[in-house]
């Protein structure tokens, strides 16, 4: 698999330009009754020493109250009065032991309404000097640095349907894992933004196991 993006200043500048060119659409008409949350698309260097750009994916701990054992971007519910950026910064520190600042924010993607009652705002972060990530054992069962080339492979992203909905379900195969929405939808939108496309994902469906 060829290297797609090198984790360097040139790539950082590309992400900044593509995020700036992306017109974010907040899901204002779908916010009634939904709790605000934020997730972090955290860009880091891959762990194989190749210098390739990657992002952080976690598997949620088995003792969590909701969505236990599911694959997810680092994140969680926004506290009272907390912005999505502030929540994202707090969550990457709590879940990964990674201290970032507002200067590390490269962009914000569309809000995504989930079946489980959240309106999730994805924030794109750049972790320039990434120390060893330290997962919080109370929240994170395992974590992965997924090279961006994984989601650009032919056939990595596909869509299917389920009897319970007339909306398409998105799935992403990467690093030997099968990822579903909400996480897959937000990763897919970042992939599209990186390619210079403004693809909307709020109407992509989630599998039934993620509805609760």
Per-residue pLDDT of 41-87, as tens digits, reads: 999 999 888 899 999 999 876 665 555 568 899 999 999 999 999 99
> By 3-state DSSP, what share of the chain in percent is helix, strand and coil, each rounded to 5?
25, 30, 45
Whether 20 maps to a domain, the answer reads yes
Whether 19 maps to a domain, the answer reads yes
Provide the token pair at 64. Answer: 């969590």
Q: What is the mean pLDDT of residues 144-161?
A: 93
The C-alpha atoms of residue 129 and residue 21 are separated, in whole angstroms, by: 26
Whether 195 maps to a domain, the answer reads no
Q: Tens of pLDDT along 176-207?
A: 889 999 999 999 999 999 999 999 999 999 98
Whether 180 maps to a domain, the answer reads no
Q: Residue 31 CA to chain centroid, in angstroms?
A: 20
Whether 189 maps to a domain, the answer reads no
Whether 203 maps to a domain, the answer reads no
Q: Are strands 53-60 and 35-45 parallel, antiparallel or unpaired?
A: antiparallel
Total domain count, the chain: 1
- Would you state the pLDDT for residue 19? 98
Q: What is the mean pLDDT of residues 8-16?
A: 97
Whether 192 maps to a domain, the answer reads no
φ, ψ (nearest 5 deg) of residue 32: -60, 120
Full domain range(s) for residue 103: 9-151
Whether 101 maps to a domain, the answer reads yes
Q: CATH no. for residue 101?
A: 3.90.79.10
φ, ψ (nearest 5 deg) of residue 115: -65, -25
pLDDT of 170 strictly over 70? yes
The C-alpha atoms of residue 172 and residue 187 are separated, in whole angstroms, by: 9
- Would you state the pLDDT for residue 69? 63
């Amino acid at each position: 698999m060829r290297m797609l993006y090198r984790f360097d200043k040139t790539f950082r500048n590309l992400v900044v330009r593509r995020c700036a060119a992306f017109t974010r659409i907040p899901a204002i008409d779908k916010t009634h009754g939904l709790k605000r949350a934020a997730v972090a698309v955290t860009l880091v260097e891959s762990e194989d020493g190749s210098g390739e750009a990657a992002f952080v994916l976690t598997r949620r701990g088995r003792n969590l109250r909701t969505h236990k054992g599911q694959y997810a971007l680092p994140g969680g519910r926004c506290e009272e009065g907390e912005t999505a950026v502030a929540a994202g910064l707090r969550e990457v520190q709590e879940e990964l032991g990674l201290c970032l600042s507002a200067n590390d924010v490269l962009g914000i993607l569309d809000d995504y309404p989930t079946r489980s009652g959240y309106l999730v705002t994805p924030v794109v972060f750049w972790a320039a000097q990434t120390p060893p990530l330290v997962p919080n054992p109370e929240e994170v069962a395992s974590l992965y640095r997924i090279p961006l080339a994984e989601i650009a492979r032919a056939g990595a992203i596909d869509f299917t349907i389920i009897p319970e909905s007339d909306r398409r379900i998105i799935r992403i195969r990467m690093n030997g894992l099968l990822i579903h929405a909400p996480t897959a939808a937000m990763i897919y939108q970042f992939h599209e933004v990186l390619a210079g496309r403004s693809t909307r994902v709020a109407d992509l469906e989630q599998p039934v196991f993620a509805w609760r």
